[in-house]
Copies of this chain bind each other. A is one copy, B any other.
Amino acid sequence: MPADGLVLFAHGARDARWAEPFAAVAARIQARRPDLAVVLAFLEHMAPDLPAALADLEGRGVTRVRVVPLFFGRGGHLRDDFPHILEAARRKSPRLVVEVTPAAGEDEAVQEALADFALRAPQGG
């Protein structure tokens, strides 16, 4: 059983295809770190939500979890909603050690990758 888990926390959308890039990121992480339990969780529209994802990991024997918000910016969702969701998740899984990273869009290397993409991406949106 993996002792460590990693949750990619994303917004969610009504269209199931919206989650494909997040599943691809999760697969890349899992390929690099087979020892980690890597899962997705969503703010709305998609399941599981964060409390359910953490409870699932705890049920699988995970003791420490890193939550990574895959959001570009820190608006109301991350500033206002997320702390309450995180608190609810911690109450539901009190023995889990939970750490949270900044939002992905705040990271300089991610910003550089986006700038690079903007300049080299092919036409065909």
Give the shortest distance, in Å, between A53 (CB) and chain B (any CB): 14
Given the known inter-chain contacts A28-B112, A29-B118, A110-B113, please indicate yes or no for A21 contacting B124, CB distance below 8 A. Answer: no
Q: Which residues of B contact A101 (CB under 8 A)?
A: 117-118, 121-125
Stretch in A54-62, A67-75, A87-95 touching the partner: A67-75
Whether the Cβ atoms of A124 and B105 lie closer than 8 Å is no
Report whether B121 and A102 are in contact in the complex, using a CB–CB cutoff of 8 Å: yes
> Which one, B66, B67, B117, contacts A110 given CB within 8 A?
B117
Size range of the chain A interface in the assembly: 35 or more
Interface centre among A29, A74, A103, A111 (most CB of B within 10 A): A111
Asked if A119 CB lies within 8 Å of chain B CBs, one says: yes
Whether A1 sits at the interface, judged by CB under 8 Å, is no
In contact, B118 and A6 (Cβ under 8 angstroms)? yes
Across the interface, which residues of B come within 8 angstroms of A6, CB to CB?
118-119
Q: Across the interface, do A21 and B105 meet the contact criterion of CB distance under 8 Å?
A: yes
Instruction: Report the Cα distance A32→B10, complex, angstroms.
Output: 30
